[in-house]
Amino acid sequence: MFLSSRVRQRLRTILVCCVLEFGAVIGLPMRPEEIEALMQTMNQPTIVHTIPDEHDTGDDGRRGDAGETDGEPA
């Protein structure tokens, strides 16, 4: 079952809020500034880093290793 990204984001937010509420119920202190910073961090987009393989070519048609061959610059 696949959920849309909006539904997953909503469920993740609800889960974090439940964990924070549970901490408040058992008496763990957390300042409002920390909660706000946590919520802002959750709302930031995620950046995915990929490592190109040897045969990968980019948009400009060059290889992933900037066109170097046999250890010599192009």
Q: What is the DSSP letter of 57?
A: B
In a domain? residue 74: no
In a domain? residue 37: yes
In a domain? residue 27: yes
In a domain? residue 73: no
Mean pLDDT split into 10-residue runs, the chain, 74 residues: 80 89 87 86 78 68 53 52
Would you say 38 and 16 are in contact if contact means Cβ atoms under 8 Å apart? Answer: yes
In a domain? residue 59: yes
In a domain? residue 71: no
| Total domains in the fold of the chain | 1
Identify the domain containing residue 39 by its residue range: 1-65
The count of other CB atoms within 10 Å of the CB of residue 38 is 13
Place of tokens 């900037």: 66
pLDDT the model gives residue 69: 52
